[in-house]
Amino acid sequence: MLTKEQYAELKQRIEAESIWIDTVRDRRKCRKCHGSGKARWNQGACPKCAGKGIILGWASYKPEDKPANVPTVTNEDRSSVEMYEFMTNPPERYFLYISFPEFGKPAIATTWTGERLGAVTFGRAFRSSFGDKRVPVRIKAINNRTYAGTYYSDAGSYARVKMCKERNSK
């Protein structure tokens, strides 16, 4: 777990890299407002491009094209920042992955890099109207909160969860 100072330093490095990456992104006109930045009916800011008139696309660059003053951030750095934020400021909704470590062992909820987020309890599987198999899940997270949601087993190993309300004990 990161300290507050380490978190602030990593977050600053990630922000600096993101700002540079935005300069090399492809820019194109917003399809909704056609580059004007204004919404059609109420003439306020376009909700799709936030009034800028452009949308940023993909960023593709070679590592040798990156300037020396732009910090390099690894996936481990990003994952540790994600874990720190998960612990200190528990999110209301979360996108996570379900991992099955070994046969017979309980499933665990993880981040995209494999950091453990909590223990998983499965409900009864069902078929949705789209024909895919979905499983209700309940996660007892490492931040002492409980999350519930849906595990999309046919689509991949991911789940979308929402924080459960805490009960008052009387």
Q: What is the pLDDT of residues 21-53, one digit of tens each?
A: 988 888 888 888 888 878 776 667 888 888 888
The range of the structural domain enclosing residue 34 comes to 4-65
Q: Looking at the 3D structure of the chain, how many domains does it have?
A: 2
Task: Identify whether residues 9 and 57 lie together within a single domain.
Answer: yes
pLDDT at 168: 67
- Cα separation, 116 vs 53, in Å, equals 40
Q: Which of 65, 81, 112 is the last residue of a domain?
A: 65
Q: Which of 31, 48, 65 is the last residue of a domain?
A: 65
108 neighbors 116 (Cβ within 8 angstroms): yes
- Cα separation, 73 vs 68, in Å, equals 13
Q: Which of 65, 80, 104 is the last residue of a domain?
A: 65
User: How do strand 108-110 and strand 93-99 relate by DSSP bridges?
Assistant: antiparallel
Mean residue pLDDT across the chain: 90
Comparing 43 with 60, the larger pLDDT belongs to 60
In a domain, 77, yes or no: no
What is the mean pLDDT of the segment spanning 124-143?
Answer: 93
In a domain, 78, yes or no: no
In a domain, 85, yes or no: no
In a domain, 73, yes or no: no
Count the helix, strand and coil residues of the chain and give each as a percent rounded to the nearest 5: 20, 30, 50
